[in-house]
Amino acid sequence: MTLQLKPKQQSVIDIINTRPEIDEIILIGPTGTGKSALTAHVFISIAEAFPHSQLFVWRKNFNTARKTIWRTYKKMMSDMNMVEDKHYKLNEGSLLIEFPNKSLITFAQADSSTDKDQNKIKGLDITANQLEESNELIEDAADMIMSRKGRANQEGQPSINIHTMNPNNGWAKNRYYDKWKKGQLPSNVMVIEFTLEDSWQSDKDINSLIRSKPKWWVERYLRNNWNYLDEDHALIKGYLWERASIFRLPEPERNEVGNIIPKFTRTKFNKVIGVDVSDGGGDACVATLIEDDIVMEQRELKIPERTYGQSSEVDSRPIGYLFAQQLIAWAESKGFTKAYAHHISIECNGVGTSMRDNMKLLGWYIDEYVATGKSRNETALNARRALEDAEIQIFQKDAYRGNEDELWREISAHDTDMVDGVEKVTKKEKIKEILGRSPDYADSFFIAVRKHSTVHGKIKDPAHNLNRIGV
Whether residue 467 has pLDDT greater than 80: no
Confidence of residue 335 (pLDDT cuts 50, 70, 90): very high
What is the pLDDT averaged over residues 260-269? 67
Q: Which of 452, 451, 424, 427 is nearest to 439 (CA)?
A: 427
Greater model confidence, 379 or 204:
379
Please tell me the predicted confidence (pLDDT) of residue 231: 62
173-186 confidence digits (pLDDT tens): 889 998 999 999 99
CB 5 within 8 A of CB 13: yes
pLDDT at 114: 79
Beta-carbon count within 10 A of 294 CB = 18
Q: Which of 70, 48, 46 is nearest to 57 (CA)?
A: 70
Residue 52: name the closest of 154, 203, 170 by CA. Answer: 154
Buried b (16+ CB within 10 A) or exposed e, 111-150: beeeeeebeebeebebbbbbbbbbbbbbeebbebbbbbbb
pLDDT at 455: 93
pLDDT band at 6 (very low <50, low <70, confident <90, very high): confident
* Predicted pLDDT of residue 214: 64
Name the nearest CA neighbour of 274 among 292, 261, 285, 289.
Answer: 289
Confidence band of 394 (pLDDT split at 50, 70, 90)? very high
Across 218-247, average pLDDT: 78
99 has pLDDT over 90: yes
For the segment 209-232, the average pLDDT, to the nearest whole number, is 72
pLDDT of residue 404: 40
Would you state the pLDDT for residue 232? 64
Q: What number of residues does the chain have? A: 471
Q: Are 128 and 155 in contact (CB under 8 A)?
A: no
Residue 135 has pLDDT above 70, yes or no: yes
3-class DSSP string for the chain? CCCCCCHHHHHHHHHHHHCCCCCEEEEECCCCCCHHHHHHHHHHHHHHHCCCCEEEEEECCHHHHHHCHHHHHHHHHHHCCCCECCCEEEECCCCEEECCCCCEEEEEECCCCCCCCCHHHHCCCECEEEEECHHHCCHHHHHHHHHCECCCCCCCCCCCEEEECCCCCCHHHHHHHHHHHCCCCCCCEEEEECCHHHCCCCHHHHHHHHHHCCHHHHHHHHCCCCCCCCCCCECCCHHHHHHHEECCCCCCCECCCCCECCCCCCCCCCEEEEEECCCCCCCCEEEEEEECCEEEEEEEECCHHHHCCCCCCCCCCCHHHHHHHHHHHHHHHCCCCHHHHHHEEEECCCHHHHHHHHHHHCCCCCEEECCCHHHHHHHHHHHHHHHHCCCCEEECCHHHHCCCCHHHHHHCCCEEEEECCEEEECCHHHHHHHHCCCCHHHHHHHHHHHHHHHHCCCCCCHHHCHHHCCC
As a whole-number percent, the residues of the chain with pLDDT over 70 amount to 87
* Lowest mean pLDDT across 338-342, 412-416, 456-460: 456-460
Say which amino acid occupies 447: I
Most confident of 152-166, 243-257, 395-409: 152-166
What pLDDT was estimated at residue 230? 54
pLDDT for residue 281: 44
Q: Is residue 266 scored above 50 in pLDDT? A: yes
The answer to whether residue 440 scores a pLDDT higher than 90 is: yes
